[in-house]
Structure 1
Amino acid sequence: MGLLTTGQLAKELGVSRGAILTWTNDGLITPEFTTPGGHHRWDAEKVRQQLRAQRQRDE
Structure 2
Amino acid sequence: MTDRLLPTADAAKAIGVDRRTLQRWWKAGDVTPEVVTPGGHARWDVDDLKRQLRDRR
- TM > 0.5 between the two? yes
Q: Whose strand proportion is higher, 1 or 2? A: 2
Cα distance between partner residues in 2 of 1:14 and 1:52: 14
**SS of alignment partner, residue 52 of structure 1:** helix
Matched length: 55
> Which residue, out of 32, 35, 53, partners 1:33?
35
> Which residue, out of 10, 13, 22, partners 2:12?
10
Which protein is bigger by CA-based radius of gyration?
A: 1
Q: CA RMSD in A?
A: 1.0
- Structure 2 unaligned blocks of 5 or more: none
- Percent identity, aligned pairs only? 45
| Shift in Å, 1:39 | 0.5
- Structure 1 unaligned blocks of 5 or more: none
| Shift in Å, 1:26 | 1.1
> Deviation above 3 Å: which 4+ runs of structure 1?
none
